[in-house]
Copies of this chain bind each other. A is one copy, B any other.
Amino acid sequence: MSETRIEPCLFIILGATGDLTRRKLLPALYHLAAQGLLGRNCRILGAARRAEWDDEAFRAMAREALAAVGLTVDDRCTHWCDECLHYQSIGRGQPEDYRALAARIEELERTHHLPGNRVFYLALPPVAFPGTITALGQTGLNRSAGWTRLVIEKPFGRDLASAEELNRLVHQYFDESQTYRIDHYLGKETVQNLLAFRFGNALFESLWNRDRVENVQITVAEQLGVGSRAGYYEQAGALRDMVQNHLTQLLTLTAMEVPGAFEADAIRYEKIKVLRSVEPIRPEDVVLGQYAPGRINGRAVPGYRQEPGVAPDSRTETFVAMRLEIANWRWQGVPFYLRTGKRLSRRVTQIVVTFRCPPVSLFRSSDGPGIRPNILVITLQPDEGFDLSFEVKAPGQTMALQAHRMRFRYDEVFGPLPDAYETLLLDVLTGDQTLFVHADEVEASWRLYTPLLQRRLPVHPYPAGTWGPREADHLLSRMKDAWTIL
């Protein structure tokens, strides 16, 4: 990954009055500016429908948005808003609206001596992607005197066909090297920590294969319900919303081979290779669930079907558990278990690598007769770190073992990590595509899950506040495995 060196540029946000802009983009951009990483020759141009807005209205919104996320809106901050933020309406998105946008961009670049480097950030609902991309292309905004980069938020398609179609459209106007498909779930630090852990430590890398690993589990558990997002979620479900993107990212980062270099192309190539090695997922290896009423932290919560905006007979899954096999030299025969859900017992994202047990046991366990495996737990949320469980002798006259842990937590050493958006925007601005999803990767991922979306798999109810339907436990117990969470 490259050194931080941001060239003068114009950062154009399409959807500048929306939630994402307020909650994430403006705070992240201001943070970067406050750290001196974005100078005055990095201007932000908000674009949205509202025709009555001007620069000042956008700046007022920005100050409000920054205050709302807890930032101190002091002189420096106000000064940044006044100096660097601009607004341009794109009205109803007609050709003349985009020509006006292009004119405004050129005017700003002229006035502020910018070399024509541009980011177009689509902070828009997916339905607006095709029209916006086409309009940008047809207005000639896909090329400039400097570089032009297009940032697209997830979801990128809703199955293989729609993803392919969207990719075709993007590629009609933009090169893949201009395209940044963002998956904010994985902050840059988190991914880098994971890759540094794997490839900076020969110890673990030498254990990272079918000879030493019994199974790998990836859990992304939320306590929240669908909240106000039912409109979107009813059409999506957990498989599209979480598995196809976030969990698949974690899967490929965990399973990938050592890349030839720590560079975007090399890393993205290895991730795609993993996806292409995953065996077709058998329907009997997938468990879908939907939360029923239950309790979260002692508080009664409604079931999914009782949430506002959800159909009373909705079959949308809020939980997915599945078993994957990766048919390559490293992983053949090692089950990879993925699990995600809303309204689960607690909020946690963990990759759990269970190593093979000793072939024979010289000892007995203090809490049962069995041999226990060593387990490496990589926690991504809420407290990023590593735990290695191992067996120690319990003091006393008998030779009995107990499982204990060696532990490491990032925040205890380094303090809080930066927000995901902050580092991802910096990557866009420096042209580092490592953490952005390649067109081939998107398609390979949809290729894997689309057959499941086309089937009418049973959806098992589970009480809110549990770890999902019992069928998810059977999925593992069938293989003599069990879900592990720290």
* Residues in A lying within 8 Å of B, measured CB to CB: 1, 3-4, 189, 192-193, 196-197, 199-207, 212, 258-259, 261-262, 355-359, 361-363, 373-374, 386-388, 390-395, 397-399, 401, 404-408, 410, 413-414, 417-418, 423, 426
Say whether A358 contacts B201, CB under 8 Å: yes
Say whether A406 contacts B392, CB under 8 Å: no
Report which of B203, B262, B390 forms a contact with A207, defined as CB distance below 8 A: B203
In the complex, the chain B residue whose C-beta lies closest to that of A196 is B393
- Each complex incorporates copies of this chain amounting to 2
Alpha-carbon distance A259/B334, docked complex (angstroms): 29
Alpha-carbon distance A390/B199, docked complex (angstroms): 11
**Chain B residues within 8 Å of A199, by CB:** 358, 362-363
Say whether A3 contacts B398, CB under 8 Å: yes
Say whether A408 contacts B404, CB under 8 Å: yes
Alpha-carbon distance A414/B392, docked complex (angstroms): 11
Given A202-B373, A418-B395, A259 and B362 contact (CB-CB distance below 8 Å): yes
Report which of B189, B192, B359, B395 forms a contact with A189, defined as CB distance below 8 A: B395
Report which of B261, B373, B388, B418 forms a contact with A362, defined as CB distance below 8 A: B261
Q: Beyond the given A193-B393, A262-B363, A392-B410, could you list 5 further A-B residue pairs with CB under 8 A, ordered by the A residue number?
A: A4-B397, A203-B207, A203-B388, A390-B408, A395-B417
Can you give 10 contacting A-B residue pairs, CB < 8 Å?
A196-B401, A197-B391, A197-B393, A200-B401, A202-B373, A203-B390, A204-B374, A206-B212, A395-B418, A406-B407
Given A3-B397, A426-B397, A203 and B406 contact (CB-CB distance below 8 Å): no
Say whether A356 contacts B202, CB under 8 Å: yes
Given A212-B206, A386-B406, A192 and B362 contact (CB-CB distance below 8 Å): no
In the complex, the chain B residue whose C-beta lies closest to that of A262 is B362
Say whether B390 contacts A197, CB under 8 Å: yes
**Chain B residues within 8 Å of A258, by CB:** 362
Alpha-carbon distance A395/B212, docked complex (angstroms): 30
Report which of B192, B202, B206, B390 forms a contact with A393, defined as CB distance below 8 A: B192
Alpha-carbon distance A423/B199, docked complex (angstroms): 44
Say whether A202 contacts B397, CB under 8 Å: no
**Chain B residues within 8 Å of A397, by CB:** 1, 3-4, 423, 426
Alpha-carbon distance A399/B434, docked complex (angstroms): 12
Among A201, A358, A408, max chain B CB count under 10 A is at: A201
Say whether A392 contacts B193, CB under 8 Å: yes
Alpha-carbon distance A212/B202, docked complex (angstroms): 9
Alpha-carbon distance A201/B406, docked complex (angstroms): 13
Query: Would you give the shortest CB distance from A356 to chain B, in whole angstroms?
Result: 6
Say whether A357 contacts B413, CB under 8 Å: no
Alpha-carbon distance A72/B197, docked complex (angstroms): 52
**Chain B residues within 8 Å of A262, by CB:** 362-363, 399
**Chain B residues within 8 Å of A357, by CB:** 202
Alpha-carbon distance A364/B426, docked complex (angstroms): 21
Given A200-B363, A391-B196, A408 and B405 contact (CB-CB distance below 8 Å): yes
**Chain B residues within 8 Å of A407, by CB:** 406-408
**Chain B residues within 8 Å of A197, by CB:** 390-393
Alpha-carbon distance A280/B56, docked complex (angstroms): 85
Among A4, A206, A259, max chain B CB count under 10 A is at: A206
In the complex, the chain B residue whose C-beta lies closest to that of A360 is B258
Query: Would you give the shortest CB distance from A384 to chain B, in whole angstroms?
Result: 10
In the complex, the chain B residue whose C-beta lies closest to that of A357 is B202
In the complex, the chain B residue whose C-beta lies closest to that of A373 is B202
**Chain B residues within 8 Å of A203, by CB:** 207, 212, 355, 374, 388, 390
Report which of B212, B395, B413 forms a contact with A404, defined as CB distance below 8 A: B413
